Amino acid sequence: MKQFAVIGLGRFGSSVARTLARLGHQVIAIDSDEAKVEALMNEVTTAIQADARDEEALKAAGIRNVDVAIVAIGENVEANILVTLIVKEMGIKCVVAKALNDLHGKVLAKIGADKVVFPERDMGVRVAHTLASGNVLEHIDLSPEYSIVEIVAPTRVAGKTLGQLNLRAQHGVSVMAIKRNDKILAAPGADDVVEEGDIMVLVGRNKALERLQES
């Protein structure tokens, strides 16, 4: 179990705080807006209403003892930067800060943020990849050329075994898992059959993955 502080409980921050608490960690959640604090009160260890630019309030909240602080203040760039500076100077080992854009991200890194995140930008990239290739459900870039994708099995592969499809030899694509209803077949073998409606998790070159999705 680790100790976390989440400062700024907008859509991103509240989701981070809630998920960490569900994973069994201690979470101190802070926002200047009382409604945001109340909405999360029953889901985290401690929820506190305070302006995070107030160093004394942060200390009183016990922020100094956390392993990781996440600064999820959004549109007020000045507050976001100031709070990142304050928590870093308190000696917190790992400070994660949410940035509005590249320039803001560079400033955050310079003043000591250990990790800078761009939730909207990154999710925009993911959603665009998903929409661009009709039946792709998930997409992870492994490198500029390789990806992992989750696709609905194309009709023409249904009823065949992985051995018959031979995707590895023909396309350089490996099937990492097959999802069927609630079940999951991790690392399936040559004898496993792909059924209609199955979701296949594939790894391979982008070009090869695109070809597979089209057909």
Ligand X SMILES: Nc1ncnc2c1ncn2[C@@H]1O[C@H](COP(=O)(O)OP(=O)(O)OP(=O)(O)O)[C@@H](O)[C@H]1O
Interacting residue with ligand X among 69, 70, 79, 149 (CB under 6 A): 79
**Cα within 13 Å of Cα(110), Cβ side:** 8
How many other C-beta atoms lie within 10 A of the C-beta of residue 55?
15
By CB under 6 A, residue 55 contacts ligand X: no
Q: Tell me the C-alpha distance between 98 and 85, whole Å.
A: 13
Q: Taking contact as CB under 6 A, which single stretch among the options 16-24, 25-33, 59-67, 125-133 is the one that binds ligand X?
A: 25-33
Nearest CB to Ca ion, comparing residues 126 and 211:
126
Contact mark string toward ligand X, 82..121, x via CB under 6 A: --------------------------------------x-
Closest residue to ligand X, judged by C-beta, is 74
Which residue reads 């600064």 in tokens?
71
Beta strands 146-152 and 136-141 are: antiparallel
By CB under 6 A, residue 9 contacts ligand X: yes
Nearest CB to its own copies, comparing residues 61 and 149:
149
Query: Is-contact 96 69, C-beta < 8 A?
Result: yes
- Enumerate the H helices of 53-116 as residue ranges: 55-60, 77-89, 102-110
| Stretch 7-26 residues interacting with Ca ion (CB under 5 A) | 10
SS3 of 102, please? helix
By CB under 6 A, residue 4 contacts ligand X: no
Q: Which residues bind Ca ion (CB under 5 A)?
A: 10
Q: Which residues bind ligand X (CB under 6 A)?
A: 7-13, 30-33, 36, 51-53, 73-76, 79, 120
